Amino acid sequence: TGVSGGAVAVIAGVVAITVFLVSAPVIICVLRRNRKRQHLSFNRSAKRPEFHLGQLKWFSLRELQEATEFFSEKNVVGSGGSGRVYKGRLDDGSVVAIKRLKQRRTQGGLQQFQTEVEMVSMAVHRNLLRLRGFCLTPTERLLVYPFMLNGSVRSCLRERPESQAPLDWGVRKRIALGAARGLEYLHDHCNPKIIHRDLKAADILLDENFDAVVGGFGLAKLMDYKDTHVITAVRGTIGHIAPEYLSSGRASEKTDVFGYGIMLLELITGQKAVDIARLANDDDVIVEIIIFLLHLVGQKQDASCNYIKFKYSLETVMSGFLVSHFSFNLVAMLTFQVEGLLKEKKLETLVDSDLQGNYIEEEVEQLMQVALLCTQSTPMGRPKMGEVVRMVEGDGLAERWEDWQKRKMFHQEFNNTHHPNVKWFIPDSTSRILPDELSGPR
């Protein structure tokens, strides 16, 4: 009996080991597959999710409702196509900015939320807005960020109360460098790399030390390193959209470089992108706009121009139809006039009057040169953000600027020789872009 009992034990052990060896790989494969399938998963029977993206905190909806006084209008500090931003105070006393995303009937709303959570949690840099946590319910999607005490570049330039001192030149130069470093990190140190696509002054936030923090990732696009560009619906802010993105929907790192250049011009001048051209000569700008409107009238009808047609053309432009044409030419005119004033050494015309002459002319000229290099019409001509950082730091700018001037002179001489009668050009490739595509989620 003892022998037979031992044999049974041996057989049972062998069977158990065999079953384990056969089933273990299957179990491991299933676990790995489930882990890869979802970045953000939660147990529907539980109150909180099993979150697998770093150390981000899950906030309850009740907690964020109480922090914002149930999303009171008086706590709204910003809004855009993707939702509103509220100022809130948590139970621990910390002040936060809570982005309440709009609810959408399509799957895009959830995808947008997941993309933004993944993206912002991966991008960790002193000049990038850090995501503190989130809230996800069947009816709400919210993101929680640290609150930036000094607002944004836009608010400091154009919405500043009289009691607040203007940004001095040293702070503006530091902002330019910090924003460049933040974008460089998105492009060169994130895998996949991140394209912002809608960089503007309102997206450059300022912390308690007035250091730049790049935010506004609602439009950002993840991009594999092997890709040179991505094709998307055109979304962005008029005056900041790169020509190639406007005309073809092709976004790349150079799209952000263009937006940075426009932001840099705004930082120096204190003006909106669409207003900077007026610094040169108001009459010239009005004439250019009239020429553009007359061109539209000529496209619509062959009859002579009259008040009704002019009014119709003006309403057409303002409503967004063919607004891409108008934006393209306005930005080209802006950079042309800024470069002219720079060559004529009329810095006092360009620099923000709030500075009251308290700036270093050589540094202003250098940052203007960086801005113009970044806003070239072709993406190939623009520097990468890594180069921009070095140029803002004072390394390699003179050589790059001189090379660009030589190339411009060559192209100008070539065009004058071979195309002497070409005076005005309006691209046709964006005539079907609708206004809601241009002003999509921000």
Side chain identity, residue 128: L
For residue 420, say if its preceding peptide bond is cis, omega within 30 degrees of 0.
no
- What are the structural domain ranges in the chain? 50-146, 154-438
CATH superfamily to which 50-146 belongs: Phosphorylase Kinase; domain 1 (3.30.200.20)
For residues 280 and 370, what is the distance between their CA atoms, to the nearest angstrom?
20
The string of pLDDT tens digits covering residues 339-386 is 888 888 888 888 999 999 999 999 999 999 999 999 998 899 999 999
Which pLDDT score, from 0 to 100, does residue 232 have?
A: 47
For residues 351 and 355, what is the distance between their CA atoms, to the nearest angstrom?
8
For residues 60 and 49, what is the distance between their CA atoms, to the nearest angstrom?
11
For residues 39 and 27, what is the distance between their CA atoms, to the nearest angstrom?
20
The string of pLDDT tens digits covering residues 125-136 is 999 999 898 898
Q: Which residue has the tokens 């974008």?
A: 183
Residues tagged active-site: 198
Which pLDDT score, from 0 to 100, does residue 411 have?
A: 67
In terms of pLDDT, which residue wins out, 164 or 284? Answer: 164
Q: Per mean pLDDT, which range of 12-21, 52-61, 91-100, 411-420 is the poorest?
A: 411-420
For residues 185 and 269, what is the distance between their CA atoms, to the nearest angstrom?
26
pLDDT at 241 over 60: yes
Secondary structure letter of residue 60 according to DSSP = P
Which pLDDT score, from 0 to 100, does residue 414 have?
A: 60
Which pLDDT score, from 0 to 100, does residue 429 have?
A: 35
Confidence of residue 264 (pLDDT cuts 50, 70, 90): very high
Which pLDDT score, from 0 to 100, does residue 4 have?
A: 64
On whether 384 is known to bind a ligand per the annotation, the reply is no
Which pLDDT score, from 0 to 100, does residue 209 have?
A: 95
- Do the beta carbons of residue 228 and residue 289 sit within 8 Å? no
pLDDT at 177 over 80: yes
In terms of pLDDT, which residue wins out, 398 or 337? Answer: 398
Confidence of residue 57 (pLDDT cuts 50, 70, 90): confident
pLDDT at 309 over 80: no
The structural architecture, per CATH, of the domain 154-438 is: Orthogonal Bundle (1.10)
Pairing mode of beta strands 212-214, 204-206: antiparallel
pLDDT at 178 over 60: yes
Which pLDDT score, from 0 to 100, does residue 349 have?
A: 87
Which pLDDT score, from 0 to 100, does residue 112 have?
A: 65
The string of pLDDT tens digits covering residues 104-158 is 654 555 666 666 687 778 788 999 999 898 898 888 989 899 999 999 999 999 8
In terms of pLDDT, which residue wins out, 314 or 398? Answer: 398
Mean pLDDT of 303-309: 50
In terms of pLDDT, which residue wins out, 51 or 380? Answer: 380
For residue 192, say if its preceding peptide bond is cis, omega within 30 degrees of 0.
yes
Residue 301: other Cβ atoms inside 10 A: 10
In terms of pLDDT, which residue wins out, 116 or 60? Answer: 60
